Amino acid sequence: MNAPLPQDWTLANQQLLVAEFERLKERLRLPSAAASAATTGGAEKIAAARQAIRGESAIDWLCTAFGLSEFESDLLLLCAGTEMDADLARICAEAQGDPLRPWPTFGLALAALASPHWSALTPQRPLRRWRLLDLDDRMGLSAGRLRIDERVLHFLVGINELEPRLAHLLRPARALPRQAGMHADTTHEVVATLKSARENGALPVIVFEGDDPAAHEDIAARVAEALGLNCLSIQSADIPANAEERAALITLWQREATLLGTALLVILDNAADHAANAFLERVGGVCLVSSQTAPSLHAGTRRFTVDKPSSHDRRQLWMDSLGPNNTLHASAELEQAASHFRLGSRAVQEIARTLSADMAVPKGAKAPVTSAASLWNGCRQESRAAMENLAQRIETKADWDALILPEAQLAVLRQIAAQLRQRFKVQEEWGFANKGNRGLGLATLFAGESGTGKTLAAEVLAHTLQLDLYRIDLSAMVSKYIGETEKNLRKVFDAAENCGAILLFDEADALFGKRTEVKDSHDRYANIEVSYLLQRMEAYHGLAILTTNLKSGIDTAFLRRLRFVVQFPFPDQPQRSALWQRAFPPATPTRELDLDKLSRLSMTGGSIRNIALNAAFLAADDGEPVGMKHLLQAAHTEASKRDRPLADAETRGWA
């Protein structure tokens, strides 16, 4: 005969419960002395069931975890039995002399169970402290119905699943496939901190502060795993403001943390949230907090700064995420992407995973090939969302051929482009970033009359460097309320730092003007706004372009902090001739245009584009190619906008 197979733990655990229920039936049927004698056979069945489990049963684990006495354990089993065993429920009703009461009461338990003690049902003892039992006290403490909590009943039969009342509030914390180096160091430090605190008996609340919430969650999940725990997260907005409801949530969570072996990550949306802070001070256990700013907690916290990876760590994370031997590993494009786009840990890995799915391995090649353009565009798309609601994104198509400027101005613009391209090499590899963050930005002033090409030059830089260009709406930035202007600008600069965008403050003298002598409180707060801008301009790592029609209107303190100042001159006649040559697309039909005569018209490039476009509409309406007569009519229309009629010498011989 074959040897019996080892019993499944769940089945063996349930057989133990059946044996325990039989023991309780005997105690309820007979007087206490006879019951003690009659349960000898039941004890043998219980011992055999425990041996079959080959480990700790659910009831034994509960007794150890929550510190239950023998009487409290039997009371919990009695409540479970009346739910699972109809015969035990009937016997309870008979023992109480009422067939309509097939449930246990505290009075029945005191009379029938071994080693009874009145304190078992006090609010401070485990049965009610951890809500293992519920008491219907409408008939008093002794006669009120006792019912086992559903979650605990399922645990006793071997089903250990998340408390349904918490399921809609909690979700598993998500670990990332890879960690940046600085985040791995933080993980090791937090694990060491909590292990040391466990030995001393007082666990601190671990607070992650910084701008990479995905890394906060990743570290929390890894820390919990290192401690042999799961990790669940809750949003601070879901923590009740009502003190009684909050206390109930804390109790349920503490019980759940014990049953499931779980750490808690609180994602704090508002550092000043009173309910969340009150929850954190009482929740206990392994508790971690993710916050952009420091919460106002009392003593008993350990704070760790977890920001988005540095350029060096980000570059390494890109390499690890793209996979071994990827063709981009040693490329300049990867360095530029790591430098320009301040992406968080999750964003880098998600982009890399998407690119990996599209990788091509050429025939005969060992290394997968990832398009540098795909990498760059993936970064742009991912980082764009943060800026979309803060500023207007300008679609850029113009290239260097569209700019008609003196060579000196063009040389400065190309130098700006070169500095953006080589930012990673100079700042990170050559060590300039180690000397401090100030002065590493490319704040630039474009000064010149309207229409001389300032905005066009910004478009050319953005198009050449394949960066997004955002025009900042000054009317949306400036607020009459104290501190709001700085808050609005902070959002723009912070978002721009992350996406490497080019910021265009058009007609910036309205916001970046000269600081005034303080005569009243309005002047003082206006100067504070300007000072704040000075600091952000100096610290901003990207390219911020300020355009103005009047350079003298800019505060000299700004000029000192600007890396480049480009003066856009009014175009001379040769430049105007070149502008007219580029004014019409190749597909536009033209007839007998005299560039020499057109170049005598004293207009900026912006006005020339307007005249060309208006003339094209006139010619299309006439059903003719664009001719000098259409340009003459359009030129007069453009001049009327400036209240300065055209001189005869400027348009003589046009038509």
Cα separation, 59 vs 75, in Å, equals: 12
What is the crossing angle of helices 213-226 and 181-200, to 10°? 50
Topology of the domain covering 573-651:
Helicase, Ruva Protein; domain 3 (1.10.8)
Q: Rounded to whole angstroms, how far apart are CA atoms 504 and 508?
A: 9
The helix (H) or strand (E) run that includes residue 136 is: strand 133-136
* Residues near 414 by beta carbon (within 8 Å), at least 6 away in sequence: none
CA distance 68 to 527: 67
The number of helices, as runs of H, and strands, as runs of E, in the chain is 30, 14
Burial of 76 (0-12, 13-18, 19+ CB in 10 A): buried
Query: Contacts from 634-638 at CB under 8 Å and sequence distance 24+?
Result: 634/610, 635/601, 635/603, 635/611, 638/603, 638/607, 638/610, 638/611, 638/614
What pLDDT sits at residue 18? 93
Do the domains 573-651 and 400-568 match in fold?
Answer: no
Q: How many residues does the chain have?
A: 655
Q: Which one, of 436, 441, 427, lies nearest residue 335 by Cα? A: 427
Question: Do strands 230-235 and 133-136 pair parallel, antiparallel, or not at all (unpaired)?
Answer: unpaired
Residues of the chain with pLDDT under 70: 1-7, 30-42, 295-299, 358-370, 428, 433-440, 474-475, 478-483, 509-530, 534, 553-555, 557-558
Q: Which CATH architecture has domain 167-305?
A: 3-Layer(aba) Sandwich (3.40)
Composition of the chain by helix, strand, coil, percent to 5: 55, 10, 35
Q: Are 504 and 470 in contact (CB under 8 A)?
A: yes
CB 544, CB 503: distance < 8 Å: yes
Domain range summary for the chain, segments of one domain joined by +: 9-161, 167-305, 311-388, 400-568, 573-651
Does CATH number 3.40.50.300 belong to domain 400-568? yes
Tell me, what's the pLDDT at 552?
72
pLDDT given for residue 436 in this prediction: 60
How crowded is residue 450: how many other Cβ atoms within 10 Å of its Cβ?
Answer: 14
pTM above 0.85, yes or no: no
State residue 521's pLDDT score. 46
- Tokens 């000075």 identify what position? 534
Q: Quick one: pLDDT at residue 473?
A: 75
Torsion sign (Cα): 407, 401, 464, 567: positive
Alpha carbon distance 113, 106 (integer Å): 10
pLDDT tens-digit readout, 520-538: 444 455 566 667 776 777 7
Which of helix, strand or coil describes residue 85?
coil
